[in-house]
A = this chain, B = another copy of it.
């Protein structure tokens, strides 16, 4: 592969001149510029970014580290981050941890070795920051995305999960539902805990007791939605409504509904996080807490780059992004008066 030296020789100029032509660092006469450019073309020369990075001590590479690229929530985030990164002259790469902290550790170490300028991280762990500590100390910029880890000195872009859940559950209550079950995400993750909190707050506001038996701990995966969905519908005392804490689990719930021939909202109301089921052949359309995923990615990348370039120097802060509640048919009040149904249920229990 041709180097800058060969280009310089062929154009009969110094390598400094070649560099200046490429980077536009300083004026070069039209004649030399011309000669350099033809030489570059003829040699199929591509500047060695590795060498450049070594010298200037920055790579203009960013990395996004995700727990599960299979979850459709993340690709949108990637797009957002990728677009801003590209616009601002950075290159974004993506890596998967598979929700395994060990893998995350190895990946972060590798990224540090490759001297990426910054990392966008949705950590697999909600608690362990040992591997991030050294990385931050070493000067790699870090922005947490979607999830943060308590105690870490890094910016974060998070959804206002409490608010999203609270408004959604509030809406369900307002529609007349009283006995509302929740299928939570993993409670090891902040996201999972916050959404549960929003649910609890909404119930308390309305003086509805939070019943332990109505809280089903899932893990944000399809199967846990399916299992809990099935379990709920097979109980003798069904709730009026279910609030599901992410889109993937909702697909599982809908599958359970399908199998059990449950109709929504006639038999039970349903609301969910993430607008995944829009593409799904399910009727009716679901009331949903929508996350602005693209914007979250874009925003996080923006902050990361601002940090790298020194436009932000203040202490790390957390940006909370607002979710949007889209009300659709799935939370319409059930045909029977709520009070009656509710009483019946308590009587039976």
Contact = CB atoms under 8 A, between A and B. Distances in A.
Interface of A: 1, 44, 46-51, 53-54, 59, 61, 63, 69-70, 72, 75-76, 78-79, 82, 86, 91-96, 98, 106, 109-110, 112-115, 134, 137-139, 222, 248, 251-252, 254-255, 257-259, 279-283
B82 A96 contact: yes
Contacts of A255: 279-281
A256 to B, nearest CB: 8
A101 B69 CA distance: 24
A268 to B, nearest CB: 14
Nearest to A114: B49
Q: How many copies does the complex hold?
A: 2
Contact of A1 (B94, B109, B138, B259): B138
A95 B92 contact: yes
A343 B86 CA distance: 58
Shortest beta-carbon contacts, A-B, top 7: A93-B93, A254-B281, A49-B113, A258-B281, A94-B94, A69-B75, A255-B281
Which of A1, A51, A61, A279 has the most CB atoms of chain B within a 10 A radius of its CB? Answer: A279
A281 B251 contact: yes
A113 B98 CA distance: 29
Given A95-B92, A255-B280, A281-B258, A46 B112 contact: yes
A70 B78 CA distance: 10
B96 A95 contact: no
